[in-house]
Amino acid sequence: MSTKSDLIYEQLRSLYYQVTSFYNELNKYQSQYDKQISEIYHELERVELNHVNAYEYALKLQDVLRKRRVVKDELARLQPVRNYVNETFNELQKQIDRVISKSNEIRKSLNVTLSISEVLKASE
């Protein structure tokens, strides 16, 4: 049975993975838009422009640039959250590992076999 602290830790871990996953997803979108921009530039190098296709290329490029801007802005907003969650979670994991190791060592040396659930249930 999981303890309350285990459940809280799992929620934090879930948040860490959600932020990381969303950040990676946004990076993929930005990369895709960068490739599309590059493709449009290469197309522009190959074709003879006239009033009609120049306007079409401009609209196409503008659309991709605007989408890329939205993704880039969201990445910028998410970056501080990602940095904080990443640093905090990594430190949290280290601290929890140390505490659990020390706790197990002490419990073993004192022959303590009760769980927090058993203690709380007995107190009711």
- Domain spans of the chain, in order of start: 4-123
Report the chain (124 residues): mean pLDDT per 10 consecutive residues.
83 94 98 98 96 96 98 98 92 89 87 82 79
Q: Which amino acid is at 64?
A: V
Shortest CA distance to 87 belongs to which of 12, 1, 32, 4?
Answer: 12
Residue 24 pLDDT: 98
Residue 107 pLDDT: 84
CA dihedral 91, 94, 95, 100 (to 10 degrees): 160
How remote is the C-alpha of 25 from its chain's centroid? 8
User: Which phi-psi region, left, alpha or beta, contains residue 116 (left: φ > 0; alpha: ψ -120 to 50)?
Assistant: alpha
Residue 117 pLDDT: 79
Token pair, residue 58, equals 């401009």
Task: Please give the Cα distance from 95 to 92 (Å, whole number).
Answer: 5
Residue 16 pLDDT: 94
Residue 37 pLDDT: 98
Q: Which amino acid is at 12?
A: L
Q: pTM of the entire structure? A: 0.76
Residue 42 pLDDT: 97
Residue 104 pLDDT: 85
Q: Tokens 């890329």, residue?
A: 68
